[in-house]
């Protein structure tokens, strides 16, 4: 019996792959056999080097996803450089913090455009390729969106981030409804509190850091590598019958 988690010969496009969660997922998929197209505003040179050290192919695709301008080019360049796409991981995202009474339109638009609008249109561009490729074959393409604890909760002082990640949850379910019968699985991972650049302000705030740790049953911040197993599962044949699911990897945060 073949290993249902084996990704040998697959090509994964991962946005925001230069550091943190994106890099952790890229390395996990590469360790399972996938080749990687590392997409980001900052060239993911370290990620590409580490993927190649694992014996997999890896290419950098430079793209600023604060607008949808590069979306089709990302798909086209990945296919041109690596021959195809099997998996898309929408990880790129930003966060802006301020009290809701003071939150600006600029900070609202910047976050929603990057975290939700660009994600939808990248899903659309990749989805057209994946539906054409897999719709009649019995094989399946995969889209994995990166949600958040704030897909389920409100949070504080991050209104545009909460709105965007709540939108990711709904969008994931909608696309699964439309594309599950067309050869494409669409699911999401909701990371808990992971130690990355996006959470550096929380880690540095002694009071907030303590409050967060007190609520996490696992008793620690997550590491980007903690998301690797979930990503491999959702990218592989092991999840063939998993559609529109938001998989929390949170150290037990939501169970508290």
Over range 205-225, report the average pLDDT: 94
Q: Which residues are catalytic?
A: 161
| Mean predicted lDDT score pLDDT of the chain | 96
* Model pLDDT, residue 202: 86
Confidence of residue 28 (pLDDT cuts 50, 70, 90): very high
- Reported as a single tens digit per residue, the pLDDT across 47-61 is 999 999 999 999 999
Q: Residue 55's domain spans which residues?
A: 11-255
* Model pLDDT, residue 229: 98
DSSP assignment of the chain equals ---TT--TT-EEEEET-SSHHHHHHHHHHHHTT-EEEEEESS--HHHHHHHHHTT--EEEEE--TTSSTTHHHHHHHHHHHHS--SEEEE---------TTT--HHHHHHHHIIIIIHHHHHHHHHHHHHHHHHTTTS--EEEEEE--GGGTS--SS-HHHHHHHHHHHHHHHHHHHHHGGGTEEEEEEEE-SB-SGGGHHHHH-HHHHHHHHHH-TT-S-B-GGGGHHHHHHHHSGGGTT--S-EEEESTTGGG-
The answer to whether position 113 is within a domain reads yes
* Model pLDDT, residue 1: 56
The answer to whether position 70 is within a domain reads yes
Over range 232-243, report the average pLDDT: 98
Q: Per-residue pLDDT for 125 more than 60?
A: yes
Cross-strand partners of 15: 39
The answer to whether position 4 is within a domain reads no
The answer to whether position 185 is within a domain reads yes
Lowest mean pLDDT among 73-87, 133-147, 165-179: 133-147
* Model pLDDT, residue 37: 98
The answer to whether position 2 is within a domain reads no
The answer to whether position 6 is within a domain reads no
The answer to whether position 3 is within a domain reads no
Confidence of residue 196 (pLDDT cuts 50, 70, 90): confident
Domain count, the chain: 1
Over range 224-245, report the average pLDDT: 97
The answer to whether position 104 is within a domain reads yes
- Reported as a single tens digit per residue, the pLDDT across 158-187 is 999 999 999 999 999 999 999 999 999 999
For residue 160, give the CATH number of its domain: 3.40.50.720
């Amino acid at each position: 019996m073949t290993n249902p988690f084996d990704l040998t010969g697959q090509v994964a496009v991962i946005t925001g792959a230069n550091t943190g969660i994106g890099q952790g997922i890229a390395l996990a998929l590469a360790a399972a056999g996938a080749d990687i197209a590392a997409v980001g505003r900052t060239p993911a040179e370290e990620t590409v080097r580490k993927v190649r050290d694992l014996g997999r192919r890896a290419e950098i695709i430079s793209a600023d996803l604060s607008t949808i301008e590069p979306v089709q080019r990302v798909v086209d360049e990945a296919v041109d450089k690596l021959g195809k796409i099997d998996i898309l991981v929408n990880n790129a995202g930003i966060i802006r913090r301020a009290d809701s009474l003071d939150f600006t339109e600029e900070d609202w638009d910047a976050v929603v455009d990057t975290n939700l609008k660009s994600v939808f249109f990248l899903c659309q561009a990749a989805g057209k390729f994946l539906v054409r490729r897999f719709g009649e074959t019995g094989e399946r393409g995969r889209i994995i969106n990166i949600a958040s604890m704030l897909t389920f909760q409100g949070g504080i002082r991050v209104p545009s981030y909460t709105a965007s990640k709540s939108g990711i949850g709904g969008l994931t379910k909608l696309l699964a409804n439309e594309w599950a019968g067309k050869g494409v699985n669409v699911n999401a991972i909701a990371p808990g509190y992971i130690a990355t650049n996006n959470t550096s302000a929380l880690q540095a705030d002694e009071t907030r850091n303590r409050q967060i740790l007190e609520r996490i049953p696992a008793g620690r911040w997550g590491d980007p590598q903690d998301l690797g197993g979930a990503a491999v599962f959702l990218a592989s044949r092991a999840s063939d019958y998993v559609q529109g699911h938001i998989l929390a990897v949170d150290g037990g945060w939501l169970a508290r």
